[in-house]
Amino acid sequence: MDKAFIQRRRRDLVVAACLAAIAAAVPMFVKDVYVQNIMVLTLLYGALSQSWNILSGYCGQISLGHALYFGLGAYTTAILFTKFGVLPWFGMLSGGVLSAIIAMALGYPCFRLGGHYFVIATIVIAEITLLLFHNWDWAGAALGIDIPVRRDSWVTFQFTRSKLPYFYFALGLACVAWFVTWWLEDSKWGYWWRAVKDNPVAAESLGVDVFNSKMGAAAVSAFLVAIGGSFYAQFVSYIDPESVMGFQFSLLMALPAVLGGIGTLWGPLLGAVILIPLTELTRSFIGGSGRGIDLIVYGGLIIAISLARPQGLVSLFSRKPKPAANPVREAVAS
């Protein structure tokens, strides 16, 4: 029994390594900057969704306020760089740690809420923070922060002439987010999270520390999302509250995971690979009419996919054998 399980884990790892290698080679053939831009965004949202999936997919605490951590990451990096000259790399780390701490501080009261009330709380908190940043003069208020352009360099993590460094960073981030999920999946935390999602009362009776497993999931999830936010700030080199903390980010983190398969290892990446190019392409090809046809098409496609595959697209690749013959069930069926 052990063998099949270990084989599956290994196969996931090998497939991931192959995909990463292929992805790394793609820019050699694709020189178009527009397409490269889409690839960066796809990897970024893949990584964000993977991180969101840890708290909301595995642990079952649906958050629609992860834009908060994305924005915190972006703002921390930008403020530290523009006001104190701190390099983005440290800004990134600080943003991650800050977000993890804030996620736990918010989790302390919010994880006592059940079901829909938790979701509402996450939305409200993210919106309140958005308003605070809108009115916080020191942090640029509604005008936002312009990140001054210096020489292209990995030290300041700025590249004006090429998208490729951003691409490789985004690829690295997606790999890290995937690997963290892979690693946690077969750890005490992974099992605890899934138990908490399925049935907290039963989990508790089996010695699971329900509250702290939610806190742990929130911290890991927020940390990784904030790294993504920091990266985004460097990538676009200008941030304002709406462009890094708006509600759409919360949705764009949740959608790929939901579409690809919530609470699965591959779902978020698969979802992002389909969803993000779709977003960009519908926008650029039919978005110019000014009538929002792109959004109608986009929304329609999402509905179509979710109707066709309610468990997520990952179920298309499911290797799970049909449930072993069950005598009782067959007797009932015949």
Partner 1 sequence: MTALLETRNITQRFSGLTANSDVSISVGRGEIVGLIGPNGAGKSTLFNLIAGAFKPTEGSIIFNGEDVTALPAAERCQRGIGRTFQVVKSFESMTVIENVIVGALVRTTVMREARRKAQEVLDFCGLGGRADVLASDLVPSEKRRLEVARALATEPKLLLLDEVLTGLTPVESQKGVELVRRVRDTGITVLMVEHVMEIVMPLVDRAIVLDLGKVLIEGKPTDVVRDPKVISAYLGDRHAVGA
**What residues line the site for partner 1 (CB under 8 A)?**
1-2, 4-5, 186-188, 191-192, 194-195, 197-199, 201-210, 263, 323-324, 326, 328-329
For partner 1, the closer of residues 28 and 324 by Cβ is 324
- Helices 293-308 and 267-286 sit at what angle, rounded to 10 degrees? 150
What would you measure as the largest C-alpha separation in the chain, in angstroms?
74
Cα separation, 75 vs 79, whole angstroms: 6
For partner 1, the closer of residues 67 and 265 by Cβ is 265
- Shortest distance, position 130 Cβ to partner 1, whole Å: 34
Cα separation, 243 vs 146, whole angstroms: 12
Chain mean position to CA 105: 20
Task: Give the Cα-Cα-Cα angle 139, 145, 151 (nearest 5 degrees).
Answer: 135
- Shortest distance, position 153 Cβ to partner 1, whole Å: 42
For partner 1, the closer of residues 153 and 199 by Cβ is 199
For partner 1, the closer of residues 291 and 329 by Cβ is 329
Cα separation, 263 vs 289, whole angstroms: 37
- Shortest distance, position 57 Cβ to partner 1, whole Å: 11
8-state DSSP, 58: I
- Shortest distance, position 2 Cβ to partner 1, whole Å: 6
| Residue 261 exposure: Cα atoms within 13 Å on the Cβ side | 15
For partner 1, the closer of residues 160 and 334 by Cβ is 334
Cα separation, 82 vs 65, whole angstroms: 26
In the chain, the amino acid numbered 111 is F
- Shortest distance, position 79 Cβ to partner 1, whole Å: 39
Closest alpha carbon to 241 in 126, 156, 157, 160: 126
- Shortest distance, position 331 Cβ to partner 1, whole Å: 10
Task: Find where tokens 């460094």 sit.
Answer: 165
Closest alpha carbon to 190 in 3, 316, 60, 62: 60
Q: Considering just the CA atoms, what is the radius of gyration of the chain in Å?
A: 21
Residue 83 Cα distances to 80, 98, 133, 153, 155, angstroms: 6, 18, 16, 20, 17
For partner 1, the closer of residues 57 and 228 by Cβ is 57
For partner 1, the closer of residues 8 and 291 by Cβ is 8
For partner 1, the closer of residues 168 and 182 by Cβ is 182
303-318 exposure pattern, b = at least 16 Cβ within 10 A, e = fewer: eebeeeeeebbbeeee
- Shortest distance, position 1 Cβ to partner 1, whole Å: 6
- Shortest distance, position 63 Cβ to partner 1, whole Å: 19
For partner 1, the closer of residues 3 and 161 by Cβ is 3
- Shortest distance, position 202 Cβ to partner 1, whole Å: 4
